Structure 1
Amino acid sequence: MARPARKSADPTRPLLKPAVRVGNLDTAALIGELRQVHEDAEDENIGRMPADEELFRALLYLEANAGAVKSEEARRKAAITRVKLWQYLREQAEIHQAKAVEDARAANAEWADLVPALAVNAPSAAYNKAKRLQAALLADPSRGEKSVRRTPEAVLEAQQRLAAQAAALRRAEVKAASHQALTASVAQRLLEHRADLESHGDVIFWLDQIEAVLPNCDTPTQMLSLKTYVEAVVRELKKIERTTTRPPVLGPAAQLAYAAAAEIISR
């Protein structure tokens, strides 16, 4: 009986588990703790140790002077901390190298120009390595996102997904801005025709609120307040229309403003 053909792995399939990374660290604090270990051990060269913020140089010092720590337990803990800090540097290096490649390409660098910089032997290898580096930029494990496989196909799929998300966000922002502009326009029309609106106490109150917020309506909070006030005016006018025999709006222009307000708040 013939053996079933083995299915090849989909190169764009994400890993099933989020990438394991050390993530964000307070590196200066950790270097400070290692400095204290060496001070407690009376490291005679401690005065030459770089500042806590100089992570790379400080790690080189700690590596060169590890023997100054005589306690085996303290030396073991210090070495493990150094391992963690070097891992942090590796993760950060991938991110920043990927950004550097993007900047080089944006400045019209050819893949052949990046061959020696990426320590590869051919432009195609530079392209593939750059794509693998970009995988580090396309997921944030701190938010529980799954990592992207380090293949050009997987990176391209992730980039297309992010581009689609960004486009959807831009469309939503444009729609929201358009709705806000229409709300402001409708609010202005209500004010222009307030003399033809029912002079009920609540109607007057909400029109006054519109008049107060409309001239400086810039922030999302102010726009939300404006929409709330327009809704309140429409609600009060409809209430008058239902509960009395008198029309809440007089004149065709005011009626159009009222209808526009009712329509905008229904969206």
Structure 2
Amino acid sequence: MFNKKSTSLAGQVALITGSESGIGRETARAFCRQGAAVVLNGRQAERLESTRQALAAEGFQVAACVADVTDYAACERLVATAIAAFGRLDILITNASISQRAYFADMQPAVFRQVLDSNVYGSVYPLKAALPYLIQARGSVTFISSISALNGMPSGSAYCAGKAALANLAHTLRLELAATGLHFGVVHIGFTQNDPDKRVLNAAGQPVPIAHRPPRWQKSQAQVAAIILRHVRRRQRRTVISGLGRLILVVHALLPRLGDWVVLTSQRRLRNFYE
């Protein structure tokens, strides 16, 4: 078991979903650099293997498993990979998810469900499969959410609903499993630099580029990974990344109408990127 004063994750085993690319990949690298063994996950076999090879070449302990985290049987295989490779599991970070760029009135119901499933069951299923090992280790679970879950975001109904659900899920499990010593936390990520080929779903379920974001609002993937690492090591309950995220949290709590006005105004200015 690790605590707030620990300086190393040596001997710990972390499973990070959606770690073949992007934030998940950089989070895996950050944990490896602190001495953890890491189980990588993704749905694209070639990209996942490329990430595994790159980290292994740096001398890190890594294993990998292709698995769709919205499939419970696949999550069982994913956890089995961790146990077979390293004999234990201490940390789970549910990072894999699908985002969207579509207004609710235009979305096909199946697309809404696909996005919601990735953000809710994509966390529930890996946790359910891993829970006995995490309890045994008195370990740590972190759900990766978004600042958009704090106040909502036009064109992101299913994504925001799913990410908001994770905070309540973490709170409920914290109460249910308080006696186990298992840590449950949520990280609300803000605007982050993405891989060039990053895609989200449109109303028909087709992958499209992410909408424009001013560079000055974005953190690098490595910066976000460092914050996730600190969150886990300190066993924090909630971490809101970026000044913008913390502002949204305060405004939503104290001046919700002002928060809605700011969001709607900014969306109108950027709407040409959504059409």
Q: Output the TM-score relative to the length of structure 1.
A: 0.22
Larger Rg, first or second structure (1 or 2):
1
Q: Output the TM-score relative to the length of structure 2.
A: 0.22
Larger relative contact order, structure 1 or 2 (CA cutoff 8 Å, min sep 6)? 2
Give 1 or 2: higher strand fraction: 2
